[in-house]
């Protein structure tokens, strides 16, 4: 099975406010993106590939409403809280947090957990309390995965090493996998590899041998599908498709110059380039 994940981050911010959304108004954004892609994606065999869109929370309701019966587009949330609602117990008193039960009720069948941006946020909060042990971040993410799965969702779990961690990449990734996935249902997990050291303007992208090495290592540690989380795009689609250990990719931006942002027609072209390579 191949997996094409779409992480729309904060692309709901209008361009005039400093964001990259030039497509439509914020009120229509979630439904617009689902409607613009779900029919075209039926050209691909659902037994061979699945498509999951991770939306900012405000856009999950219109996105869910725009899904046709039997739509190939699945919806996901961009993380869940480490505690969850429980029948007869906590009714959801988690102001400012997103319990997994709420995400599932909004129509999510997936949760994105451990993205490098989330790891950075959690590490920053812990550092304010004097905690610099990365194992603490992995333990929190593990609790989030367990909550997501308890609410019936599958999980895209992100792992990756920063530049200063490259010399010990096996130790870093091994701990992220061992601690983060402790006690979880691996049949409902896909791992995304993010080479954090290579992501961003001016950085050298990870090459085929490096990605292949990492994907092989991950699969030696845990029996899961592995997708490339460093950005599936038009200029690396064929290369990623040529790596047997890679089972898909994570798309964010589709255009990296000019009017930077996400555009449905470019997203569909990336998918065609990858799946038809």
Tokens for 121? 């946020």
Identify the active-site residue in 50, 115, 118, 161: 115
What contacts 24+ positions apart, CB below 8 Å, involve 86-94? none
Active site residue 115: yes
Neighbours of 74 (CB within 10 A): 17
DSSP state of 255: B
d(CA 162, CA 168): 10
Helices (H) and strands (E) in the chain, counts: 9, 8
Question: Cα–Cα distance between 269 and 265 in angstroms, integer?
Answer: 6
**CA angle (168 as vertex; 227, 79 as ends), nearest 5:** 40
Contact 167, 206 (CB under 8 A): no
Dist CA 116 CA 163 (whole Å): 13
Residue with tokens 């219109």, as numbered in its chain: 62
Active site residue 194: yes
Please identify which of the residues 50, 118, 144, 194 carries the catalytic annotation: 194
- Encoding tokens for residue 226? 């592995």
Q: Which are the catalytic amino acids?
A: 115, 194
């Amino acid at each position: 099975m191949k997996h094409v994940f779409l992480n729309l981050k904060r692309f709901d911010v209008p361009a005039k406010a400093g964001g990259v959304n030039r497509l439509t108004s914020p009120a229509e954004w979630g439904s617009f993106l689902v409607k613009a892609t779900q029919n075209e994606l039926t050209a691909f065999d659902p037994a061979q590939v699945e498509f999951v869109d991770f939306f900012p929370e405000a856009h999950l309701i219109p996105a869910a409403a725009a899904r046709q019966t039997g739509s190939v587009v699945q919806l996901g949330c961009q993380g869940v809280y480490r505690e969850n609602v429980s029948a007869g117990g906590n009714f959801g008193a988690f102001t400012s947090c997103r319990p997994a039960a709420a995400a599932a009720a909004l129509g999510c069948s997936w949760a994105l957990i451990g993205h490098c941006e989330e790891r950075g946020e959690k590490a920053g909060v812990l550092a304010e309390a004097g905690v610099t042990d990365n194992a603490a971040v992995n333990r929190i993410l593990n609790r989030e995965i367990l909550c997501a799965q308890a609410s019936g969702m599958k999980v895209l779990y992100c792992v990756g090493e920063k530049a200063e961690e490259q010399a010990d990449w096996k130790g870093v990734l091994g701990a992220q996998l061992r601690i983060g996935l402790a006690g979880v249902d691996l049949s409902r997990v896909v791992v995304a590899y993010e080479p954090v050291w290579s992501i961003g303007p001016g950085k050298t992208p990870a090459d085929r041998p490096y990605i292949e090495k990492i994907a092989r290592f991950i699969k030696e540690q845990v029996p899961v599908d592995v997708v490339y989380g460093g950005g599936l795009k038009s200029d690396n689609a064929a290369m990623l498709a040529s790596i047997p250990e890679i089972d898909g990719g994570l798309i964010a931006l589709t255009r990296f110059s000019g009017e930077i942002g996400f555009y449905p027609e470019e997203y569909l072209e990336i998918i065609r380039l990858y799946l038809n390579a």
